[in-house]
Amino acid sequence: MKLNILSGLSFLFVASLFSCNNAKQTASQEETSALRINQIQVIGSHNSYKPQIEPPLMEMILAEDSNAIALDYRHVSLSEQLDLGLRKVEIDVLYDPQGGRFAKPMGLKLLQEKGIEPLPFDTDGKLNAPGFKVLHIPDIDFRTSCYTLASCLEELKQWSAAHPKHLPIAISFNAKTGEVEREGFAEMLPFTKAAYDSLDAEILSVLPADKIIRPDDVRGDYATLEEAVLNNNWPLIEDARGKFMFVLDEGTEKSKPYIDGHPSLKDRVMFVKVEPGKPEAGFVFMNDPVNYKDSIKALVAMGYIVRTRADANTTEAREGDYSRFEDALESGAQFISTDYYLPDERLGTGFQIKMPDGVISRCNPINTKDNCKPDLLEPIDDHAKVE
C-alpha cells in the first residue's frame, strides 16, 4: 500500500472510527492515564545535536552555494531542549568502527588557510575512539553538542533519571552514508547488517532494556508489528513514562539490512520507517503537513505514529510563516519537529514553535476524546515552560 493511496481514503469513514466525544465530560486523571503513547502530540527538534556553523566558514560555504543557507540554524544542548519541553530528538549517526575517520574536518583547514583561527574542536579526542559519531555533514557542518552517540545517550539518560515521570522520548536516527565529492573530504561508511547490530549494541550499552520501548513490546501476541499498531497496542502513557523509543529514519533499501532476519523487528531495538502495509510498519515520516495533511490524519486515526515538520530549510522562520505548523497541529501527527523552539534573533521575525498554551504535550486532536486533560500528561516545571 502506498501513501498516495492513503490520501484517497474517505476521511469521514476513518473519523467515524475515532470520532471525538462531543458530550461535555469532566476530565479525570483516570481517563487521562488510560491514554496510549500514540494519543498525544509533542514538539521535537530536527538535527538536534547541531550548533551553528561558525560564521566565517558559513560565509565561505554560501559563497560556493547560496542554497546552503538551509544549514544556518542551531540548537542548544539536548538537556536544554528537554528542559524546554521537547520530547522528540533527531540524531545523525556515522559508522566509525576504527575511530578517527571524522577527527580532522576539512572545514578547519579551510579556515586556517584563510588566516582564521577556528573555534576549539574535539579537544578531548573523542572522535579518535571507535564507535558511532554524531554530526551533520563531515568536513562542512561538523560541529556537534555531543561527538559520539554514546555521549548523546548518556546525556539523555542522566536527564531522564532527574525527571523520571517524563513522557516517552522518541529518538530518530539518520544513518549517514556516502561522501562529498571533494578532495580531502571524509567518506562515510555503509550501514551493513553488522553496522546495525553494532548500533543496537551501542544503544543497549548505555540504556538498559527496561528503559526502551521496543518493537517487541508493541507487537505482543499479534502476528506482526503492524497488526498490533492497527489494533492500538501501543503502550499506555503511564507504563511508558521515563522511557525512550528509537526509530530508524531511512528508506526501504537502507533499512533492509536492519530488518533482514528480524521479521516484524523481532529482537530489534529500533522501529523503522516503512510504508503502511508492511509487517514492520508502525512509524511513518511525512514531513510535508501542507500537502499531506489529510493523509496524516488518516494514518493517525488508523493507529500509526507520524512525524512531520513545522518548518524546513530555515524558510518559514525567515518569513515568519506559521501556516505549515498550523497544518501540522491539525494533522494529528504525534511528533512535530522544528529548528525553532527558540527564536533566532538574527532573523528578526520572532518565529518560534511551541505547543498552544505552552504545554509540553497536548491531547491528540484526531484520536482522543474531549475528556483528555493536557496538564495531567506531563506537568510543566517552572524551568520547562516556554514563554
Strand partners, 261: none
Rounded to an integer, what distance in angstroms lies between the CA atom of residue 279 and that of residue 226? Answer: 5
Q: State the chain's maximal CA–CA distance in angstroms.
A: 69
Residue type, 97: P
Helix axes 193-206, 252-259, angle to 10 degrees: 70
Strands 361-363 and 40-45 turn out to be antiparallel
Has residue 21 got a pLDDT over 70? no
Sequence-separated (6 or more) residues with CB below 8 Å from residue 295? 3, 4, 6, 7, 286
Sequence-separated (6 or more) residues with CB below 8 Å from residue 298? 6, 7, 9, 11, 14
The pLDDT tens digits for 317-349 are: 999 999 999 999 999 999 999 999 999 999 999
Average pLDDT score over residue span 276-295: 98
Rounded to an integer, what distance in angstroms lies between the CA atom of residue 112 and that of residue 135? Answer: 21
Rounded to an integer, what distance in angstroms lies between the CA atom of residue 222 and that of residue 227? Answer: 6
The pLDDT tens digits for 159-185 are: 999 999 999 999 999 999 987 778 889
Has residue 286 got a pLDDT over 50? yes
Has residue 387 got a pLDDT over 90? no
**Residue bearing cell 496510549:** 36
**DSSP string computed for 24-75:** -----HHHHHT-BGGGEEEEEESSTT--PPPHHHHHHHHHH-GGGGGG----
Give me the percent of the chain exceeding a pLDDT of 70. 88
User: Is there a contact between 299 and 276 (Cβ–Cβ < 8 Å)?
Assistant: yes
Rounded to an integer, what distance in angstroms lies between the CA atom of residue 282 and that of residue 275? Answer: 9
Q: Terminal CA-to-CA distance of the chain, rounded, Å?
A: 43
The pLDDT tens digits for 191-213 are: 999 999 999 999 999 999 999 99
Number of alpha carbons in the 13 Å side-chain half-sphere of residue 364: 28
* 335: three-class secondary structure by DSSP: strand
User: Is there a contact between 188 and 199 (Cβ–Cβ < 8 Å)?
Assistant: no
**Phi, psi dihedrals of residue 263, rounded to the nearest 5°:** -55, 135
Cell of 76: 542548544
User: Is there a contact between 293 and 325 (Cβ–Cβ < 8 Å)?
Assistant: no
Please tell me the predicted confidence (pLDDT) of residue 123: 96
| Residue burial 18-48, b: 16+ Cβ < 10 Å; e: rest | beeeeeeeebeeebbeebbbbbbbbbbbbbb
The pLDDT tens digits for 35-69 are: 999 999 999 999 999 999 999 999 999 999 999 99
Please tell me the predicted confidence (pLDDT) of residue 236: 95
